[in-house]
Structure 1
Amino acid sequence: MPQTITKTSKDIVKEAMADVPAISAEAAMGLIGAPDHVFVDLRDGTEQAKTGIIPGAVASSRGMLEFHIDPDSPAHKPEFNQDKTYVFYCASGGRSAMAAKVAMQMGLSPVVNLSGGVGAWKKAGGRLE
């Protein structure tokens, strides 16, 4: 008997986008290098290597995020233990919205999602390195 999926991936992304504050690529561009913001790239390593990342961003794939945030995890990244605003992004904004929702549930705050992800960033003239 096949599985009965009651919620689609689109449903979950839509809920996350409704729960997580968003920032436009244009507004986010002004935050590059700002001492009170941290950009977090949620794409996997092959995607990051292929296109580059936003300058200064922390690489944290969606699959490792919870371990990178948790200070008691051996995989903890100290960049997540700062009093700053975290700007999450992925390729188009869906994975980062889901990741941001989980990060908020873990107590990371404030967290915002980059609307449209790297696609919107590049379209707005944002630099990748």
Structure 2
Amino acid sequence: MAETEAVNGGSLTTMSVEEVKALYDENRIVLIDVRTPAEYAFEHIGGALLAPMSGFDPARLPTQSDDRPIVLYCGSGMRSRKMSEKYLAAGFGKIAHMAGGFGAWKQSGNGFLGTDPATGAHVPRP
């Protein structure tokens, strides 16, 4: 179940993989990967946007709404939480991130895009 807490004057929601998957499948969230470009290129959740932690600028993220909030993710949930805190510290009112990150997403058996080592092309996994 999603947990919401007050952080840096805003509201930070931590969502489970199952919650994120359900909302993403219904196109009800904007999913943003904050890992490095190399990590994203190797494998990522199909359709997720990339906003790497190294150049993360809260003002450049898409505008979110109550109907389609932003959810950040990384490899384990640590970097996405840090970037969520940075987003709130920049004066935005709310943000969410995925607990356990991409590792938990894969462990739950959810699909993603991986790299075919023979061609370098993205291919659906598993």
TM-score by length of 2: 0.71
Partner deviation per Cα, 1:67-100 (whole Å, 9 max, x = no partner) = xx32xxxxx35xx123231111100000110001
Please say if 1:63 is aligned against 2:45.
no
Which of 44, 55, 63 is the aligned partner of 1:81? 63
Q: Which has the higher helix share?
A: 1
Tell me the distance in 1 between the aligned counterparts of 2:69 and 2:93: 7
Identity %: 27
Structure 2 residues not aligned, in runs of 5+: 114-126
Please say if 1:26 is aligned against 2:10.
no
Task: Give 1:125 shift.
Answer: 1.4
| Equivalent residue pairs, number | 103
Task: Give 1:56 shift.
Answer: 1.8
Q: Give the alignment's Cα RMSD to 1 decimal.
A: 2.0
Q: Letter of the aligned partner of 1:101 in structure 2?
A: E
Residue in structure 1 matched with residue 124 of structure 2 by the alignment: none
Structure 1 residues not aligned, in runs of 5+: 1-16, 71-75
TM-score by length of 1: 0.70
Tell me the distance in 2 between the aligned counterparts of 1:18 and 1:107: 13
Q: Which has the higher strand share?
A: 2
